[in-house]
């Protein structure tokens, strides 16, 4: 994904690309979809990824991980995006493990991170409650009962929530529904009494869940009322990683389309020789290169402590740009393929569906453009 790679990063990209294309081509996702697989991903494939160290990619070595930076994480996710590989990477590693690491709770880290890095434990973050992305809108409440807490409320669009062994749930411990202050994070066992998980599938066949909590016993993570301080940077990091996955999706869709322009013959000539289509292909290429630069800048900000203050703004820039690009390329790809692009037999339509889902995940263009403007002082 980065424009300039170190030797180690180049090796990671080559290995990730080769592994994903062999173990999880687009046909792998089709098979899960056609079998109506409830989880939406293969646990066997996830274990293979864990054996490569991917499940613990940015987890510190002390907890069984590789301790990689977000540039390396984004390289892996870009490879996954190219073949639409369904994995719990975003839900379990970036969101789930990200919250555990950001909590600063060393006992919890020692308990959860080693099995997560080994691929034996799946986490999911339950923080959304409204139709639009609003992480600080929390009406789910935590009730103090002796030395324990009980949660009451409903969480929606929980990525891989039906497959997780444990949930990390945001709940209100003070303040009003839309206050940033007064949010706390809690750990809930998936088998806990009072928790009901309702699975559903997105248009790209991924699994999400609605979680109903009725007096569910939970363990506090981090400081009371300090959940937003954990949640905000974790969501920024996950947003950058998702943008890298979208970049991989767009790159593959673009390359598939350009190859089709070279081989589809009409009026005794490849349609790629028609100037109007050449102009459209050039526009896609230019915006693809721009998006690479924006995503790289966001990764650099996450990996460089001196640039950490820039990370929230650049995370929003990356997601807004990646969403704009995915809209352009997947729609142009369908149009340039013509009728065959509308059929399920051709893969290009699957890229359009995935683009539509990722656009709404972790905030759409409207949300991130407004946030970018606010963080830039406008």
Question: What pLDDT digit, counting tens, does each position of 218-262 carry?
Answer: 999 999 999 999 999 999 999 999 999 999 999 999 999 999 999
Question: What pLDDT digit, counting tens, does each position of 307-332 carry?
Answer: 899 999 999 999 999 999 999 999 99
Q: Is 106 helix (H, G, I), strand (E, B) or coil?
A: helix
CATH superfamily of 7-117: Acyl-CoA dehydrogenase/oxidase, N-terminal domain (1.10.540.10)
pLDDT at position 305 is 87
pLDDT at position 137 is 97
Integer Cα distance of 206 and 357 in angstroms:
9
- The mean pLDDT value for 263-284 works out to 90
Residue 2 has pLDDT above 60, yes or no: no
Query: What is the number of other CB atoms lying within 10 angstroms of the CB of residue 300?
Result: 17
- Are the C-beta atoms of residues 103 and 230 closer than 8 Å to each other? yes
Reported as type and span, the H/E element at residue 150 is: strand 148-159
How does DSSP classify residue 345? T
- The mean pLDDT value for 62-68 works out to 95
pLDDT at position 3 is 59
Portions of the chain given CATH number 2.40.110.10: 123-225
Query: What is the number of other CB atoms lying within 10 angstroms of the CB of residue 49?
Result: 25
Yes or no: is domain 229-375 CATH 1.10.10.10? Answer: no
* 219: exposed, middle or buried (Cβ count in 10 Å: 0-12, 13-18, 19+): middle
- The mean pLDDT value for 259-268 works out to 90
Record: fold of 123-225: Butyryl-CoA Dehydrogenase, subunit A; domain 2 (2.40.110)
Question: What pLDDT digit, counting tens, does each position of 121-143 carry?
Answer: 999 999 999 999 999 999 999 99
- The mean pLDDT value for 5-14 works out to 91
pLDDT at position 271 is 84
> Which residues are paired to 159 by β-bridges?
208
Q: Is 265 helix (H, G, I), strand (E, B) or coil?
A: strand
Portions of the chain given CATH number 1.20.140.10: 229-375
Residue 354 has pLDDT above 50, yes or no: yes
pTM: 0.96
């Amino acid at each position: 994904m980065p424009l300039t790679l170190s030797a180690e990063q180049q090796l990671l990209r080559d290995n990730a690309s080769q592994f994903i294309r062999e173990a999880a081509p687009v046909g792998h996702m089709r098979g899960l979809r056609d079998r109506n697989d409830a989880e939406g991903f293969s646990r066997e494939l996830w274990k293979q990824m864990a054996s490569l160290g991917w499940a613990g990619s940015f987890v510190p070595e002390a907890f069984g991980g590789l301790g990689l930076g977000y540039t390396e994480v984004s390289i892996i996710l870009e490879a996954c995006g190219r073949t639409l590989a369904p994995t719990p990477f975003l839900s379990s590693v970036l969101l789930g493990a990200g919250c555990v690491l950001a909590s600063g709770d060393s006992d919890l880290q020692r308990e959860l991170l080693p099995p997560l890095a080994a691929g034996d434990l799946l986490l999911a973050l339950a923080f959304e409650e409204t139709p639009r992305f609003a992480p600080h809108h929390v009406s789910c409440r935590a009730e103090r009962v002796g030395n324990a807490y009980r949660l009451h409320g409903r969480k929606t669009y929980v990525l891989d929530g039906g497959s997780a062994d444990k949930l990390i749930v945001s709940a209100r411990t003070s303040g009003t529904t839309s206050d940033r202050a007064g949010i706390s994070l809690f750990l809930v066992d998936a088998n806990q009494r009072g928790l009901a998980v309702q699975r559903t599938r997105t248009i790209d066949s991924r699994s999400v869940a609605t979680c109903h909590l009725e007096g569910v016993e939970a363990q506090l993570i981090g400081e009371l009322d300090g959940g937003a301080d954990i949640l905000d940077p974790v969501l920024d990091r996950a947003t950058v990683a998702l943008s890298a996955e979208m970049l991989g999706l767009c790159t593959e869709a673009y390359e598939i389309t350009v190859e089709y322009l070279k081989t589809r013959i009409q009026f005794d000539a490849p349609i790629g020789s028609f100037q109007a289509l050449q102009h459209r292909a050039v526009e896609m290429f230019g915006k693809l290169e721009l998006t690479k630069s924006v995503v790289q800048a966001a990764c650099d900000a996450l990996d460089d402590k001196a640039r950490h203050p820039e990370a929230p703004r650049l995370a929003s820039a990356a997601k807004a740009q990646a969403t704009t690009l995915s809209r352009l390329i997947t729609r142009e790809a369908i149009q340039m393929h013509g009728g065959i692009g509308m059929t399920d037999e051709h893969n290009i339509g699957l890229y359009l569906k995935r683009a539509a889902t990722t656009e709404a995940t972790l905030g759409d263009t409207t949300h991130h453009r407004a946030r970018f403007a606010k963080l830039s002082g406008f």
